[in-house]
Amino acid sequence: MSSIKHLKQYIRQLSDEADNSRLPSFWFTDWLLAVIDKPSLFLITDEEYQLTESELAQFYAGIEKLQAGIPLAYLTGQQAFWSLSFTVNEHTLIPRPDTEVLVEQVLQWIQSQPINDEHPTPKRLLDLGTGSGCIAISLAHELKHHLRYAHWHTVALDVSPEALEVAKYNALINEVGEIDFIQSSWYESLPTDMMFDVIVSNPPYIDEEDAHLAHLRAEPMSALSAPNHGLADIEHITQLAPKYLRAGGLLALEHGFDQGEAVRQILSSHGFGAIQTVQDYGGNDRVTLGHLA
Ligand code: GLN
């Protein structure tokens, strides 16, 4: 086999491999681009590019990992979410596009609130189980850089110190270094007098018996799956939310496609009103919101 190969040959080989494996075909080309550190246009403009021996070795090693079930985002260490780029590793869930619906809904609610322009009341937002920080950072980024709402402050918690390191780094590279990160199992280590206007979370919600979990084995199980048909953490977060939410405050939760009814029930039994479920881009129930009456 020739040791020097052209990009063109790779692309042909990659399409064959994509046909033969059950991996998304763009993973192969994206991995190739990550190895040679070039933007996607390079595939069109520089077809004659020759991969070096070390690029070749790195490329093949990565393909083996993808085939063994490691997601592309853990290989590249990057995942786009909202309009931002997030560093991810095996300590963090990989941000999903569906979670952007949660960010969108929270932003809409914040923008619908009246503001006293002269003296805006300081407001606080809490993200529970922040992981890579994608929700807290996207929200803080919008509030600061687009809406210029300097009166909002974001706090993000995670039980995993490793995830918090990743989230802090992501906050810095996305220019929202002022977010407060606290290591805590849900509300446990939060000062009891710290009150919030918004509590948001994408908690683990997949049923422990769900066969889908087998396909997600590279990601931290503690971020994916919960007891009680996946509802245990949603229930815990909702039950304690009234202690930390100001009157009229918003609770916004991501959940499974078949959990809308159950989550609305949980919110309603813990004092929330104006409860509403919103669907994701695939038309599945994904986010439920309620106001503390
Ligand atoms: N939505 C993710 C999935 O089904 C799970 C995220 C979560 O459990 N919070 O792959």
Give the domain extent around 254: 79-292
Domain final residue, candidates 39, 68, 97: 68
**pLDDT higher than threshold 60 for residue 88:** yes
Q: According to the model, what pLDDT value does residue 293 have? A: 85
**pLDDT higher than threshold 50 for residue 2:** no
Q: Do 242 and 135 have their domain in common?
A: yes
Q: Which residues make beta-bridge pairs with 196?
A: 245
Angle at 51 between CA 50 and CA 53, to 5 degrees: 130
Angle at 285 between CA 181 and CA 219, to 5 degrees: 45
Q: According to the model, what pLDDT value does residue 211 have? A: 94
Distance CA(271)–CA(71), nearest Å, equals: 40
Task: Give ligand 1 pocket residues (Cβ under 6 A).
Answer: 96, 202, 204-206, 216, 224, 254
**Among residues of the chain, what percentage have pLDDT more than 70?**
98
Domain final residue, candidates 18, 38, 68: 68
Q: According to the model, what pLDDT value does residue 14 have? A: 77
Q: According to the model, what pLDDT value does residue 26 have? A: 86
Greater model confidence, 47 or 288: 288
Task: Name which of 38, 218, 68, 78 is nearest 60 in CA terms.
Answer: 68
In a domain, 1, yes or no: no
Q: Do 46 and 134 have their domain in common?
A: no
In a domain, 44, yes or no: yes
Annotated binding site for substrate: 202-205
In a domain, 74, yes or no: no
Q: According to the model, what pLDDT value does residue 6 have? A: 79
Q: Do 103 and 233 have their domain in common?
A: yes
What is the pLDDT averaged over residues 74-89?
Answer: 96
Q: Do 20 and 55 have their domain in common?
A: yes
In a domain, 226, yes or no: yes
Q: Do 55 and 94 have their domain in common?
A: no
CA 102 to centroid of ligand 1, rounded, Å: 13
What is the pLDDT averaged over residues 249-253?
Answer: 98
18-25, long-range: CB < 8 A, 24+ apart: 21/66, 21/67, 23/66, 23/67, 24/72
CA 93 to centroid of ligand 1, rounded, Å: 8
- 8 Å CB contact between 30 and 76: yes
pLDDT digits (tens, 9 = 90+) for 120-171: 899 999 999 999 999 999 999 999 999 999 999 999 999 999 999 999 999 9
By most ligand atoms within 8 Å of CB, the mutation choice from 98, 206, 263 for ligand 1 is 206
Q: Do 138 and 30 have their domain in common?
A: no
What is the pLDDT averaged over residues 169-187?
Answer: 98
Return phi, psi of residue 198, to 5°.
-140, 135
Q: According to the model, what pLDDT value does residue 185 have? A: 97
CATH number of the domain that residue 180 is part of:
3.40.50.150
Ligand 1 atom closest to Cα of 230? Answer: 8
CA 255 to centroid of ligand 1, rounded, Å: 8
Give me the number of domains the chain comprises. 2
The residue to which tokens 């939760």 are assigned: 253
- 8 Å CB contact between 94 and 76: no
Task: State the virtual CA torsion across 88, 93, 99, 105 in degrees, nearest 10.
Answer: -90
pLDDT band at 4 (very low <50, low <70, confident <90, very high): low
Q: Do 209 and 248 have their domain in common?
A: yes
Q: Do 58 and 91 have their domain in common?
A: no
Whole-structure pTM value: 0.93
CA 245 to centroid of ligand 1, rounded, Å: 25
Q: Do 110 and 225 have their domain in common?
A: yes
Q: Do 117 and 251 have their domain in common?
A: yes
In a domain, 138, yes or no: yes
pLDDT band at 1 (very low <50, low <70, confident <90, very high): very low
Q: According to the model, what pLDDT value does residue 99 have? A: 98
CA 30, 32, 34, 40 torsion: positive or negative? negative
Q: Do 64 and 85 have their domain in common?
A: no
Q: According to the model, what pLDDT value does residue 9 have? A: 80
Q: Do 179 and 63 have their domain in common?
A: no
Distance CA(83)–CA(90), nearest Å, equals: 22
In a domain, 153, yes or no: yes
Computed over every residue of the chain, the mean pLDDT equals 93
What is the pLDDT averaged over residues 172-191?
Answer: 97
Greater model confidence, 14 or 207: 207
Query: In which order are the strands placed within the sheet that holds 152-158?
Result: 180-183, 152-158, 123-128, 196-201, 245-254, 285-292, 272-279
By most ligand atoms within 8 Å of CB, the mutation choice from 102, 200, 254 for ligand 1 is 254
In a domain, 73, yes or no: no
pLDDT band at 3 (very low <50, low <70, confident <90, very high): very low
Domain final residue, candidates 37, 68, 99: 68
